[in-house]
Amino acid sequence: MAVVEKNLVCSKPAPKSRVLAPYDFRSAEEKLYVRDIPRRVSTKDVCRLARQLATLLHAGMPLVPALSALVEQLRDVPERKKMPLRSADGRMAEIIRQVAHSVNAGSTLSCALAKHPGVFSNLFVHMVAAGEASGTLEEVLLRLAEMLQKRVNLTGKVKSAIAYPLMMAVVAAGVVLFLLSFVVPAITQIFLEMNRALPWPTRLLMSISYVTKTYFVLIAAVVCVAFFGIRAAYKTEKGRLFADRLKLRLPLFGGLFQKLEIARLTRTLGILLTSGIPILDALQIAEGVIQNRFIAGALEAVRDLVGKGDNIANAIRKSGLFPPIVFHIISTGQAGGNLEAGLIDIADMYDTEVEMTAKMLTSLLEPAILLLMGIIVGFIVLAILLPIFEINQAL
């Protein structure tokens, strides 16, 4: 069963609102830039929008005036901060203005949101459509806001666990490169002028320094070519699949990436099923949420098995990619008629494990990098001091 297409979601327009069209807050000069406004905004901005819109609807405000109020709020921020139209709030304000105009013209909210796929994902659009159909738009928007907020927080913690050690490693590599290229040659030149036999650590250091300084441009060129080559390969389907499979096999970080994707997948499925979206449609929508293409391929196999009549627990077990506890909890929830709650419980469990793993990796990698940096710098210092000690003993 394929997921509902956009034209089906938007096939039944809502009755035209009697309220006036939302006020166009753009100046004549700003209207010139409408075509140039990028359609991509951050997940955090979309999360804030969903929460604010849910709050306005809960207060009893009709949909079109609520959207117009959001436009006014979003456009007020860049003006007060003297920010240009192309700031995040300015971009979002223009997009919501267009959504409000479509809704006021008779479109459903989900259909209006579907016109901006770079901002509102397939997941967001279909959940809003389900909320409109069931009359629970406020609750659906709140669920979306909570899910997106958890995703932002969890992804941020994983990025922090990776970024901090990576930054330390880059700084350490820069310091060592500076020492080998500028400091070490100036000092070792003095030893060469003495025509004395040098200890092996000093000779090794001098050789490394000579190669680094002589072939610095070549080394930098090779690094740049390798970086852009890997980046280009990652953009291809085979390259992305290979890289995503490799991520799951990395020591220390492989398990973290897997837990992050499982948490994202199960929370998305739980929210979709709670909103009344059929299981096959929910599985197909969830494929677009998964960032790891290897796991997304496994989820596609799960969807095919479910489409052939298998239950989701057995399908997940047959995929061989998910831990046993995942399909055991899903099987229990399915047997008890509470599959949605089981999926949310799995997501909460893995959220906690991701946070703990991220903290553990940060606490382990920081001293490990410092220790490695100390060993390298200590070797450089030792290689420089050994000839000095020998000269002093000779004198």
Per-residue pLDDT tens over the stretch 194-224: 777 778 888 888 888 888 888 888 888 998 9
If pLDDT is split at 50, 70 and 90, which confidence band does 37 have? very low
User: Look-up: residue for tokens 């020998």?
Assistant: 390
pTM summary value: 0.71
Residues above pLDDT 70, as percent of the chain = 86
Q: CB-based contacts of 354: which residues, under 8 Å, 6+ apart?
A: 154, 157, 158, 256, 259, 260, 263
pLDDT the model gives residue 88? 62
Q: What pLDDT does 372 receive?
A: 85
Question: What is the per-residue pLDDT for 87?
Answer: 56
pLDDT at 24: 39
pLDDT digits (tens, 9 = 90+) for 146-164: 888 888 888 887 887 778 7
- Residue 20: pLDDT over 80: no
CA distances from 209 to 148, 176, 181, 182, 375 (A): 50, 10, 6, 9, 17
What kind of fold does domain 150-395 have according to CATH? Answer: Receptor-associated Protein (1.20.81)
Give the confidence band of 26 by pLDDT, cuts at 50, 70, 90: very low
As a whole number of angstroms, the longest Cα–Cα distance in the chain is 100
Per-residue pLDDT at 228: 92
State the helix-helix crossing angle for 339-394 and 137-178, rounded to 10 degrees.
10
pLDDT tens for 342-386 read 888 998 899 888 888 888 888 888 888 888 888 888 888 888 888
| Residue 299 pLDDT > 60 | yes
**Residue positions counted in the chain:** 395
* Interaxial angle between packed helices 122-134 and 137-178, expressed in degrees from 0 to 180 and rounded to the nearest 10: 160
**What confidence category does residue 229 fall into, taking pLDDT thresholds of 50, 70 and 90?**
very high
pLDDT at residue 10, rounded to an integer: 62
The runs of H, that is alpha helices, within the chain are: 6-9, 28-31, 43-58, 63-80, 88-104, 109-114, 122-134, 137-178, 184-193, 200-214, 216-234, 237-249, 253-274, 279-289, 293-307, 312-319, 324-335, 339-394
Mean pLDDT score of the chain, rounded to an integer? 79
* 80-120 tens-digit pLDDT: 554 544 556 678 888 888 998 988 888 888 899 888 888 88
Please name which of 126, 117, 115 lies closest in space to residue 40, comparing C-alpha atoms: 117
Residues 6+ apart with CB under 8 A from 266: 326, 343, 344, 346, 347, 350
**Percent of the residues in the chain that have a pLDDT greater than 90, as a whole number:** 3
For tokens 């479910």, what's the residue? 306
Q: State the Cα angle at 236 between 230 and 240, rounded to 5°.
A: 70
Report residue 311's pLDDT band, with 50, 70 and 90 as the boundaries. confident
Cβ count near 33 (within 10 Å): 14
CB 49 within 8 A of CB 70: yes
- Banded pLDDT at 40 (limits 50, 70, 90): low
Per-domain residue ranges of the chain: 6-120, 150-395
> Which of 20-24, 205-209, 238-242 has the least mean pLDDT?
20-24
Give the CA radius of gyration of the chain: 29
More confident residue, 29 or 311: 311
Residue 225's pLDDT band (boundaries 50, 70, 90)?
A: very high
